[in-house]
Structure formats: C-alpha cells, structure tokens
Structure 1
C-alpha cells in the first residue's frame, strides 16, 4: 500500500495579524506530496500550503485571509521552488526485475534445449 507524505519545502514567519487572536506571529508552510511504496518513491508536483498562528495554534483558511495575508501569500508562493517530479525505484524492485529476467532466460534456454 502506498503511503503519502507531505514534506515541508518552505517555511516562513510572517508578521500579519491573526484573524482569530490578532497576534502578529503567523507561520506559512509549503508542502510537497511524496508517495512511498515498496517498489518506488515518487515525488509529485502537488504543492499545498498552510498558514498557522503561533499563539493560538489555529489554521487560517483562505476564507479568513485579509488582503495583507493574500499579498504575502502570493509573494511567498512565487518564491517556492518544488523538487522535480521523479520516480526512484527501490532495491526490491530491481531484485524482482533481475529474478524475472533470469526466469525468462532460463525458460527460453530450457525450451530451446528441449526442442533439439
């Protein structure tokens, strides 16, 4: 079964007011989705974000954003450079691949030797 993880690629502290408690300590974090499986590790191009208050620990959703928070978000969104999308195969994948190739070649060899 594949497991999905969100890996933080950019953190920034912003000094906008929290809409809940009006504190000026907010943290914006950008995450990139990674999928882990027994056969491969895949880096996707899906990037998500989260703005959280450091005092009341509430997540500020886009519905509650002020125009200042929107401007800061757009600025930091332009700065985010996600990792390239890629697929890395694990050792288990290569072992199974080599065993399959060996099995096919042995089958072909025995088939050809049995025909003569």
Structure 2
C-alpha cells in the first residue's frame, strides 16, 4: 500500500494579526504531495497550504482569513514552484526486472538444449 507524505516546499513568516489571539506571528507553509509505494515513487502536482499561529498553535482556515492575510497568501502562492509531476521506479522494481531478465535468459538457454552455437 502506498504511503502519502507532504513535503514542505516553501515557508514564509507573516506579520499579520492572528484572528484567534491577535498576535503577529503567523507561519505560512506550502506542501507538495508525494506517494511512496513498493515499486514506484510518485510526485504529484497537488500543492496544499496551511497557516498556523505560532503563539496559540491554531490553524487559520480560509474562512477566518482577513483581507491582509489573503493578500499575503496570494503573493506567496505566486512564488511557489513545485517539483514536476514524475514517477520514479524504486530499487525493488529494478531488482524484479533484472530477476525477470535473468530467469528468461536461463529458460531460453535450457529450452535450446544447453548449447549455443554461433
């Protein structure tokens, strides 16, 4: 079963007021979703964001954003450059391909009678 992991691609400190405690210490983080399976490692285009107040440790959801927070979010969202969508095989995948090729070659060798003439 594939594991999904969020990798931080950009972090920014915001000097806007927190809607909960009115402190000026917010942290904006952008994450990109990665999926790890037994045979492949996939990087998706999906980018997720999160704003957290460092003082009260509350997550600030878009419903509670002020106009200032929204402007700062739009600015930092334009500067985010996620990795390209890709799929990479793992070491286990390479080993299975190699094992298949060796067993196929051995099978052909024995099918031909164990003698190969050029």
TM-score by length of 2: 0.89
The C-alpha deviation readout for 1:52-81, integer Å capped at 9, x for no partner, is: 001000000001111111111000000000
Q: Which residue in the other structure is 2:76 paired with?
A: 76
Q: Which residue in the other structure is 2:89 paired with?
A: 89
Query: After superposition, where does 1:1-116 map in structure 2 within 5 Å?
Result: 1-113=1-113
Structure 1, unaligned runs of 5 or more: none
Structure 2, unaligned runs of 5 or more: none
The C-alpha deviation readout for 1:26-75, integer Å capped at 9, x for no partner, is: 00000001111222211111100000001000000001111111111000
How well do the aligned residues superpose, as a CA RMSD in angstroms?
A: 1.4
3-state SS, counterpart of residue 10 of structure 2: strand
In structure 2, C-alpha distance between the alignment counterparts of 1:61 and 1:99, rounded to whole Å: 50
Q: Give the 4+ runs in structure 1 shifted more than 4 A.
A: none
Deviation at 1:107, TM superposition (A): 2.5
In structure 1, C-alpha distance between the alignment counterparts of 2:34 and 2:68, rounded to whole Å: 31
After alignment, is 102-111 or 45-54 more displaced?
A: 102-111
